[in-house]
Amino acid sequence: MGEPGPGTPTLRVAKIKEGTVIDHITAGRALMVLRILGITGREGFVVSVVMNVPSKKMGRKDIVKIEGRELSPEEVNKIALVAPRATINIIRDYEVVEKHRVELPKTIRNIVRCVNPACITNAREPIEPLFYVVSEEPLRLKCHYCGRVMEQQDVFACLYEEA
């Protein structure tokens, strides 16, 4: 058997027996998805990350496979912040038993903090940040408390600050 020809898809990561595959992640954002899910590598789950692989629909995409763990609906919704076209595949006994797209909820609670230093959520008060989705692509969130509109780059920066 010879080498695959140009453009021939190759298996980059083996199938998983049980767990979750997050596919169609915007290229370069797989690590943000892990951050949103709170996955650091210390939890004990086997996690596979493939970045910038060819995709017919997207040009390039990322894929995350988490063995032995299924995501909650809240976690799935959080992924939409950084990967609005992602699909979630639940795997059992090597088969996809459930598949669905992520959906960005209308309100975002306690995932990112407001960039306005004068916002009440940054004043060491026991108030959880709450945002309304103004736009999905590009992502824009409006703070419930101070009205500040956060642009996509602000939201992404907050995700990494808290790592």
Each residue's pLDDT tens digit, 92-138: 999 999 998 998 889 998 888 899 999 999 888 889 999 999 998 88
Q: How far apart are the C-alpha atoms of 85 and 103, rounded to whole Å?
A: 8
Asked if 102 contacts 86 with a C-beta cutoff of 8 angstroms, the reply is yes
Asked if 89 contacts 100 with a C-beta cutoff of 8 angstroms, the reply is no
Contacts of 140 (CB under 8 A, 6+ apart): 133, 134, 149, 150, 151, 152
Tell me whether the omega of the peptide bond preceding residue 138 falls within 30 degrees of 0, making it cis: yes
Q: Say what the pLDDT of residue 1 is.
A: 42
Q: Say what the pLDDT of residue 9 is.
A: 55
> pLDDT tens digits, residue range 26-81?
999 999 899 888 888 888 889 999 999 998 888 999 999 999 999 888 788 789 88
